[in-house]
């Protein structure tokens, strides 16, 4: 259980960090203020404020993460009228603006001014107004000021010029696409690492790699390096053709045309049933060149993506909760992979990363694909949808995904512990 939990946290954590970092990196280059970069959900257990104002946090529940961009979704600073706060103001005339606003009861600002807030604008006019020692005063707020929220998280305020809405359409698209793109890159890198750990990638050629001891192939005199050119007179140009000819033999004797050291000879061999299929005991040859391993990683990533697209197509045509898996299913897979070893864990990481990238591009509101659709609509219309319409669309997506998450998680629990 502990091994499975550790593997789950590591695998899921890497995937989430890489995904969210894609959004973070491109958002900053699009001129969007990233107020918080969080790994995990719920109460924070670690926080670090960077020089550019982004707060990096780790939260207690390892079930995801997020990039909190200024002006995106419900990212708004709300202060109730009459709420107590304290302001830190620069001492010199040149620096007489409010640089920190404290709304938390758990944080104390030295040399700060207590205030009961009556009005504020942190987007356009940049001011805060309220009652100070019985007198109503207005203070100018610095463009890069920070606000300490009620839970103690300190983030920058979000003036309109650094909000998501103020970025160019292409900047928004790149920001939203960057998360899935990073997952695809991670998947490819993981598959390349896997090919190096495995020593190479299977060769598609008809050449034998190894002969298993005590098998019909060894008895018949087949050797590593032999090229199986035909089986019972039928040409076998690649390894798949060789395997198909042998497994379809039903145990009958086969005549193989073998290429060996520049000459051709015939060898008869009779397959035996092993692990439910007819085999002769030959193994596929491996390509061990560095470039072969790198390209092999790309090929495996492409095959994984194809399999995921096929599964999605099947799911759309014949919806079935048993074809979906949530955190519980991923936890079970993590435990199985941990028992097998590092290569299985890396394979799981690669598959999940590519899976997350593809699923996130589905055009459902709240997913990255849905956000990109809204960006494209903005490009066609020449202006974005109204905040009210966008909020309604996003809320529909949130409700749909929440219902789906609950249904999938419950189904996973039923499969794992009850059925």
Q: Among all residues, which ones are annotated catalytic? A: 20
Token code pair at residue 234: 């039928």
DSSP β-ladder status, 98-102 and 135-148: parallel
Question: For 372, phi and psi rounded to 5 degrees?
Answer: -65, -35
CA dist 259 → 206, 221, 290 (Å):
10, 13, 27
Alpha helical stretches, state H, 251-341: 290-317, 327-340
Pair 37, 67: CB distance under 8 Å? yes
Pair 2, 125: CB distance under 8 Å? no
3: number of Cβ within 10 Å: 12
d(CA 114, CA 84): 7
Rounded to a whole number of angstroms, the distance between the first and last alpha carbons of the chain is 20
- Helix, strand and coil in the chain, % to nearest 5: 45, 25, 30
Token code pair at residue 150: 């009620």
The DSSP code for 126 is: -
Rounded to 5 degrees, what angle do the CA atoms 184, 185, 189 make? 120
What is residue 333's three-state secondary structure? helix
d(CA 121, CA 77): 10
Token code pair at residue 124: 């356009």
d(CA 301, CA 288): 18
d(CA 397, CA 391): 10
The DSSP code for 54 is: P
């Amino acid at each position: 259980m502990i091994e499975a939990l550790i593997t789950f946290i590591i695998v899921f954590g890497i995937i989430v960090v890489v995904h969210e970092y894609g959004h973070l990196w491109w958002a900053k280059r699009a001129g969007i203020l990233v107020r918080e970069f969080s790994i995990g959900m719920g109460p924070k257990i670690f926080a670090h404020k960077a020089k550019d104002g982004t707060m990096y946090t780790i939260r207690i529940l390892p079930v995801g993460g997020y990039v909190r961009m200024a002006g995106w979704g419900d990212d708004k600073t709300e202060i109730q009228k009459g709420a107590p706060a304290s302001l830190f103001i620069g001492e010199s005339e040149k620096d007489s603006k409010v640089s920190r606003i404290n709304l938390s009861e758990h944080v104390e600002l030295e040399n700060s001014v207590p205030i009961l807030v009556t009005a504020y604008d942190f987007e356009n006019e940049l001011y805060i107004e309220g009652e100070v020692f019985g007198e109503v005063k207005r203070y100018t707020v610095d463009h890069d000021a920070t606000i300490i929220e009620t839970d103690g998280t300190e983030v920058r305020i979000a003036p309109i010029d650094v909000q998501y809405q103020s970025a160019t359409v292409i900047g928004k698209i790149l920001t939203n696409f960057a998360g899935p793109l990073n997952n695809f890159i991670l998947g490819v890198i993981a598959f390349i690492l896997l090919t190096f750990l495995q020593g190479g990638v299977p060769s598609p050629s008809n050449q034998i790699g190894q002969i298993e001891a005590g098998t019909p192939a060894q008895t018949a005199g087949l050797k590593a390096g032999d090229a199986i050119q035909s089986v019972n007179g039928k040409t076998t140009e690649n390894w798949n053709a060789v395997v198909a000819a042998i497994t379809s033999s039903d145990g009958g004797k086969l005549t193989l045309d073998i290429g060996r050291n520049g000459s051709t000879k015939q060898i008869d061999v009779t397959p035996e049933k092993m692990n439910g299929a007819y085999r002769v005991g030959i193994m596929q040859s491996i390509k061990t060149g560095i470039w072969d391993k790198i390209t092999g990683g790309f090929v495996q990533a492409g095959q994984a993506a194809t399999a995921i697209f096929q599964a999605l197509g099947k799911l759309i045509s014949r919806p079935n909760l048993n074809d979906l898996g949530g955190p519980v299913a991923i936890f079970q897979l993590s435990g199985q992979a941990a028992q097998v070893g590092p290569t299985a864990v890396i394979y799981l990481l690669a598959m999940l990363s590519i899976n997350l990238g593809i699923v996130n591009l589905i055009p459902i509101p709240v997913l990255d694909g849905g956000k990109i659709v809204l960006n494209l609509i903005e490009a066609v219309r020449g202006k974005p949808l109204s905040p009210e319409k966008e909020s309604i669309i996003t809320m529909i997506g949130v409700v749909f995904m929440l219902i789906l998450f609950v249904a999938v998680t419950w189904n996973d629990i039923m499969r794992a512990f009850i059925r």
